[in-house]
Structure 1
């Protein structure tokens, strides 16, 4: 096929594909019909989870957002191939012009109320274009069109797998996860001394045998007992506890959990009855933990998990 004719075909494909993408960006999914209901411009400048692509388990049951994230990359791969085929350009120049174009389109989406300006989309679209340019460089090296297309296709798969793995590592590095469970009896109380609470013992609640693994707290035969612990202004943690009234005890008492003077959990005997409960409370920051137990209520396996990066 003559070079000039090839160029016309590529230009036509590029033109129609561009119109196709513009249609999806501005008109698809009933965007035009929702304009009259949109009253605010939406600009999202801070990326949010753009490093997360669907994992292997996600692909079996992908969510809409999984498909959108993957589609935002895949849909713009052709531009990385078609544009260099039409015009000689370096990677830096191509990506600079592409990112500027996407920024303009995202801005138009927001200003016309046909969508939003989302930095996630800019990054994902640009990543797709970069994959396409890489496929062009690796794939289009011979005069055989079909061989070039096959090589470009293989390059796309390899590059996408590379991005998939790289994004997964970055996402894991930037995502905090629950750390190991730390029983509060391993901490120091408000006097600076270790306090293990009541000695561990088996409980029977709701007809079920309960064997605490870490600790047990009760009023220790008194009407009321308060336990206080210093958490040293720890940040981002999950505080968890189990509680209930043992079967052999009368329905009398209550519990209260407060962090830095603010009560986060309160339950009375008429609510608890002879059943076991488990609560988990997220704390943004905590310095002093106060547990108050009255009557026959028991608490066990009380502790916390700090949110940590895997490399901490």
Structure 2
């Protein structure tokens, strides 16, 4: 053994290996290299996999937290989706066939009223926007000519709907909608007449105004026709008859040939009255008498206060 050790003193390996001898206690180089590579890979890969696993856990936790945070938002979206104006509300179930038919009939009148109300709201909005293009002057802010129709909103607002075998929705529709229909047709007649008015001694500035007023009257008349047709369609759907309409004789007081100042005055009076009519009708639908919205909503409270004031004045005048 000592001879073998003495012989292994060169850099190129032991002479015993060159002579075919092997050392039983030596470690193979290939196995050593393979083991080293595995150790290095394990040291590199295991931290990466651990970081990936931690990242996955954090990602799943964030998704869970996001779902938890948006739970209220999803509930609100679900409530909005189920609102009556997007999905018809289910009628309460009842075993009585007569009561079920009564509820269905009431729902028909409510739907017809909502459709008319929406159409009236759009008509009012478009008119208020287009009316701004005209130059309104303070010179013509007063006046109540004979040709201007009047409607008693005090009587409409404080009307008592006595039970007569029909639902409240049916009784209210049958009382209010024909009056709305008549008032709009009256102003349709006025705007038809104003459109045909001839003006004497029109200068260049008034000619520009005249073109603008014709455009406004044309658009207003077109939307009035559409709104009236919507009302008539819904009245027919719920079997409420239309009232016979005859043009007012007082409309003849609206002259067809005037000078420029009188034309401006007539226009302003008609546009102001029509705007007030749409506002009052819209408030009448939105602010029914005896409902909580009339006291909680500031505009509704102001509208009812104005009607109460008019009602009290009329009662005083009647007492005298």
Q: Check whether TM > 0.5.
A: no
The two structures have a TM-score, normalised by structure 1, of 0.21
Give the strand-richer structure, 1 or 2: 1
Q: Is the radius of gyration larger for structure 1 or structure 2? A: 2
The two structures have a TM-score, normalised by structure 2, of 0.20
Which is bigger in relative contact order (C-alpha 8 A, separation at least 6)?
2
Give the helix-richer structure, 1 or 2: 2
